[in-house]
Amino acid sequence: MPYALLALVLVILDQVVKYLVLTYIPLGGYVPFLPHIACLTYVQNTGAAFSMFSQHTWILALISLIMSVVLAVALWKNFFTHPLGKVTLALLLAGAVGNLIDRTLRGFVVDMFQLLFMNFAVFNVADICVVAGGIAAAAYYLLLADKLEHKEVPHGTADADR
């Protein structure tokens, strides 16, 4: 299943980047990455986006686990039949699993990408997957699914008689 492989590759990328940050950047330290755009800053985040719910890491881990299972089942059961829809699910799954690994093994999520041109939360590869996948999934479902999804209509319904 190529979409599960995509999710796996993204989880591996997320974990490799986090490993490199943990290994080479001290907590709170930073290194240049893209001049005037972003640097790599090692931050430990026990919460969700913008450190919300930072006292409830275990709840966030549970939510990540549940969402990971739901997304894996949605991929397996072909919730979306079109490849574009499946890619959105794979992105969401990779993001959920990437941050779930951190929450369960470390008790916090390793964040590293800090934008220099605006005041924004520090984020990681898994966060990029969640945001890109979430926006893409919403756009796909709202704008494209009716045109691209070819789900079978049960026999005997009004749509099947047309």
Angle formed by the axes of helices 83-105 and 57-76, nearest 10°: 150
111 is catalytic: yes
- CA-CA distance, 144 to 121, in Å (whole number)? 31
102 is catalytic: no
**One of 111, 146, 159, 161 is an active-site residue; which one?**
111
**One of 14, 102, 127, 146 is an active-site residue; which one?**
127
Structure-token pair, residue 60: 């966030």
Number of neighbouring beta carbons within 10 Å of residue 153: 11
- Angle at CA of residue 78, ends 7 and 145, nearest 5°: 95
Active site residues: 111, 127
